[in-house]
Amino acid sequence: MTVAQETVEVFILAENRLLREALTRILNKKSDIHVVAAAAFGPDVVQQIAQRAPDVVLSDSASVALSELRLIAEIRAAVPRLKVVMIGMEANPGTFLALVRDGIVGYVLKDASAIKVAAAVRSVANGEAVCPPELSRALFEEAAKQKPQPPQFFVRHGLGLTRREHQLVLMINEGLTNKEIAAQLSLSEQTVKNHIHRMLRKLGASDRLSAVELCRVQGATA
């Protein structure tokens, strides 16, 4: 028994008519891809895409997509499961990252072969992401810049802590060492140690982490 091959439905969005027609011919030659429609950018293009509800939008104009129209976000809001592949004019990290932040999951360059474009459409339809090798480093560098935020933390009232001790609890919770705390507060490391020692004694805590747990409270303000 032969299992029916699932077809990926694609909407082509391109300003140039010749490009729209070329992409349509290329993709419709693939047995597992079907172009449901092709259109230029216009005021009703989001409505057209929503009506067709394709699996993938293949678009060619980063400048329009990144304009004040916020086209990618609007398209993805209209069809939440939709995947967007952009054909970029050049390997520009700034443009690429801006498009990623807007929600694209595939990016191929203008000199990509028909095989690569079809492969990108299939990949994003299957839940994968596509990125040219020359731009992958930009993704890693951007991710490295993102400093994880510590969980929201509030200090319990009624423990008799001074304002400075309250501040120390918050900084210890952020994972700062005594040396780092001293640098931020413009104090000597020994002064910070003295403050923490008094705070531990006041709380009856054996160490810094125990002090943080004793001070932790959920759903209240500091």
For every residue of 46-65, DSSP letters joined together read HHHHHHH--SEEEE--HHHH
CA distance 78 to 50: 6
CB proximity list for 216: less than 8 A, separation 6 or greater = 153, 154, 155, 156
Helix axes 163-173, 208-215, angle to 10 degrees: 110
Say if residues 96 and 83 touch (Cβ distance below 8 Å). Answer: no
The residue extents of the domains of the chain are 8-145, 154-217
User: What is the phi/psi pair of residue 45, to 5°?
Assistant: -65, -35
Could you report the per-residue pLDDT of 16-74, keeping only the tens digit for each?
Answer: 899 999 999 999 999 999 999 999 888 888 899 999 999 999 998 766 666 555 788 88
- Structural domain 8-145, CATH architecture: 3-Layer(aba) Sandwich (3.40)
Residues 55 and 127: their CA atoms lie apart, in Å, by 11
Query: Is the pTM of the predicted complex or chain greater than 0.95?
Result: no
Give the fold, CATH level 3, of 154-217.
Arc Repressor Mutant, subunit A (1.10.10)
The pLDDT tens digits for 82-129 are 999 999 877 888 888 888 888 899 999 988 999 999 999 999 999 999
For the cut 60, the answer to whether the pLDDT of residue 149 exceeds it is no
- 186 sits in the region (left: phi over 0; alpha: psi -120 to 50; else beta) called left
